Chain A
Amino acid sequence: MASDPSRRRALTVLAGAGATGALAVVAIPAARLAAAPASGASPGAAWLPVLKLSELAEGVPTRVKVIADQKDGYTVAHQQPLGLVWLLRQGQEVRAYSATCPHLGCTIDLAPDGKHYFCPCHSSWFDLDGKKSEGKTNKSLRGMDALATRITTDKHVEVQFQRFQVGSETAEVLG
């Protein structure tokens, strides 16, 4: 019986297809589970208070922490520093730039001269208005990422904190 070639082939096909099918049935939900974190919808950026306008000196770049609840996969930590933002006050207006380097995501510092931003990882220089500095090294394809700011009626500075895809020419918001 076992030597009957057609029966043998049929059994092989049945066993192969059966095993593949059964594995696929469980593999699909397993793969979806594994891919779940990658398809998270991006929540709208909230306005987060960072400091009082009076604490910002005119024209002096100041780095502040953005504090809010931090969701991390399966945990939520309340009132955690989410990221760093450079603020620059000009009169009653405040400009904000993400301190995450748009090149590869290192943290941007103030250059020793106090007149530029500087990312030490790949020596990228930016002007205080976030643009790439002329005549200095810069590995980034775009300037620093600007963030929306507003001043509340009680004179607090609020920032719309967002993260952006690094390495690209245009800034795309990440979830």
Chain B
Amino acid sequence: VIGPWIASRLGLDEVIDGWFDAPVVGGPSWARAFSAATLFAMALAGVTGLGLGAVYSPGQAGAWASVFFSEFVLSGGWLVRSLHMMSAEASIVLGATTLLLWVVEGRYRGRRDLAFWCQALVAALAFVFCITGNPLRWDNRGYFGFSTEANIAAEVPLVGRYVRALLVGGSSLGNWTLARLYSLHTMLLPLAAAAIVAIWHRTGRRHAADASVSGPTYAESQLPRDLLACAATFVGILVLGYLERAPLEAPADPLGSYNARPEWYFQSLYVIRNAVPPKLQGLIASSLPGVLAAGLVALPLLDRDPQATLKKRAPFLAVGLLTYLGAVGLTLVGVISDRNNPDLKHAHISQSHFDQRAVQIAKVNGIPPAGALAMMREDPVLHAEELFHDKCASCHKLGDQAPADGKLAAPRLDGWGSEAWVMAVLEDPDAPDLFGNTPYKGKMPSYTKPPADPQAAKDFKPMPAEQRQAIARFLAGEAKGAPKGHDPDGEKLVKQRCTSCHLYQGETDDPQNLAPELSGWGNLAWTRAQIANPGTNATYRPASLAASLEGHMPRYDQDMPAHDVDLLTRFLLHRAARSKR
């Protein structure tokens, strides 16, 4: 019932018969099958895009959050995303390869010039779809990639800056950028693609309708090739899309240090740009795509004789082949050199910490309405890491946070508060990763090694190991916040052996000494006091802040809000307890 009804209303049978029975202009070819595969890949991207577009929210607050939702929350969302990405990238490869095949066959001669230009436009559109689609997820990779691409576009003389301003929607990337990219990606570009395909289709119909054209029909000659090419593309996209998930790095942080790399389809341009002197970069950015476009426009006008032999067409073939192989070769060079770049590996490792943390917080806490970047900035762990990096890591080391030049100007804090740490101080307090590079160097003697002065060395007796152990056990207990009287033997030893310099419960034999308070050493209150102000007798003495003690531990209670001092203290104790001296 349905079939005849559709036939009577739409006449689809006649349309299909019209296609199938039309003669194939110039005979069947694989170049044409590649065109079909390109359009098929773009159609797959379109269908998956419809699904993604139904979830996506273009705006700084919602972009990453909504993509995260597709990727990690909605069932099967990750597969739709990776198929979308894989189809889009496949259409670049297929589009470029199709162009090469068309050039080899000279499929632009005669009345096929317009069809060739349509094919070239489709290949260009495949690029623009990827350029506009990548930043939509608003993670660091998408954001910084697009930021760099827009800045390169701005290098084009005369119009570049306006192009950038129009694309970005102002001077810096933000809400307007996303609105523009989204409307381009989901409305303007698909409309343009549809218009190009309509024109292309029309040229084919017009050509085939010509009485002078004869040959095997589409159904019996070209259709099997088209089906095979599309089926292979489909299987390839399914397999690769299943194996390779679409990226979603940490939410874009314009202030983060991100080592932006070009996507693979820009690697060839990147390699060329890097090889030329800086002054020529602007010229390269504007002229290379321009030359390529001009070449594609000019080809049908230059190489037009339908009877020309291969030998006669050799120059055109050579240019086409060299351009294609050159692009493929440079892409490989760029991708491989990035893969083997140790700096990049290092940057990738430190970046993936944020990527994983972002997904973790989003899964556990959820993303606030203020957006994913706000979520990251409010995360206590990341904030504490940043505080440690900014305030502590220029002198101290803890875990993988350390001074940039690797030279410690203060103790290494791994395992701080542990028995092992105290044992190390008793053995060699002036070790370079303890107090050896601080103004306190030489202030505390070793309890195992004789002093340098030969006179004093004569009278030196090392402290027995069990006594050192007992002191270390007692102080580690203090650091853990053990209750009063937790270790009377250790406490007795500290009172006997340490208070000639150190404070213990506010008492000392030497009020002029700077040695710190040992009661509660390393516990939460002690550590907090030390970060807030080391010169209150709660830890060190007021004189420890004297300007003459160059490189001393500064106080932070005047620069940091109290809650930051708290956070930093807890972070430090947490990380120190989970690391080994």
State the Cβ distance, B383 to closest chain A Cβ, in Å.
13
In the complex, what residues of A have CB within 8 A of residue B404's CB? 110, 112, 114
Q: A107 with B257: in contact, given A38-B162, A120-B347, A141-B279 (CB under 8 Å)?
A: yes
Interface membership of B259, Cβ < 8 A: yes
- Known pairs A72-B176, A139-B281, A175-B171; list 7 more (Cβ under 8 Å): A52-B559, A55-B559, A72-B175, A73-B170, A105-B151, A139-B278, A141-B279
List A residues at the B interface (Cβ < 8 Å): 34-35, 37-40, 42, 51-52, 55, 65, 72-75, 81, 83-84, 103-107, 109-110, 112-114, 120-122, 138-141, 163, 165-168, 174-175
Q: A83 with B255: in contact, given A38-B162, A105-B148 (CB under 8 Å)?
A: yes
B166 touches A38 (CB 8 A): yes
In the complex, what residues of B have CB within 8 A of residue A105's CB? 147-148, 151
B405 touches A73 (CB 8 A): no
In the complex, what residues of A have CB within 8 A of residue B151's CB? 104-105, 166-167
In the complex, what residues of B have CB within 8 A of residue A113's CB? 405
Provide the bound-state CA to CA distance between A117 and B175, in Å. 31
Interface membership of B165, Cβ < 8 A: yes
State the Cβ distance, A12 to closest chain B Cβ, in Å.
19
- Encode B434-466 as 1/0 by CB contact (under 8 A) with A: 000000000000000000000000000000000
In the complex, what residues of A have CB within 8 A of residue B171's CB? 40, 42, 163, 174-175
Q: Quick one: which of A38, A81, A163, A165 contacts B169, CB cutoff 8 A?
A: A38
In the complex, what residues of B have CB within 8 A of residue A168's CB? 155
Interface membership of B43, Cβ < 8 A: no
State the Cβ distance, A55 to closest chain B Cβ, in Å.
6
29 A-B pairs within 8 Å (CB atoms) are namely A34-B166, A34-B180, A37-B170, A37-B176, A38-B165, A38-B169, A40-B171, A73-B170, A73-B175, A73-B176, A75-B175, A103-B278, A104-B151, A104-B152, A105-B148, A106-B144, A107-B257, A112-B406, A114-B405, A139-B274, A139-B281, A141-B279, A163-B172, A166-B151, A167-B152, A167-B155, A168-B155, A174-B172, A175-B170
In the complex, what residues of B have CB within 8 A of residue A138's CB? 278
Interface membership of B174, Cβ < 8 A: yes
B405 touches A107 (CB 8 A): no
State the Cβ distance, A108 to closest chain B Cβ, in Å.
9
Q: Quick one: which of B154, B174, B559 contacts A72, CB cutoff 8 A?
A: B174
Provide the bound-state CA to CA distance between A136 and B511, in Å. 54
Q: A140 with B278: in contact, given A72-B174, A114-B405 (CB under 8 Å)?
A: yes
Q: Which residue of B lies closest to A51 (CB)?
A: B559
Provide the bound-state CA to CA distance between A51 and B171, in Å. 26
Interface membership of B179, Cβ < 8 A: yes
In the complex, what residues of B have CB within 8 A of residue A40's CB? 170-171
Interface residues of B in 143-174 (CB under 8 A from A): 144, 147-148, 151-152, 154-155, 161-162, 165-166, 169-172, 174
- Encode B271-284 as 1/0 by CB contact (under 8 A) with A: 00010001101100
In the complex, what residues of B have CB within 8 A of residue A37's CB? 165, 169-170, 176, 180
Provide the bound-state CA to CA distance between A163 and B174, in Å. 15
Interface membership of B60, Cβ < 8 A: yes
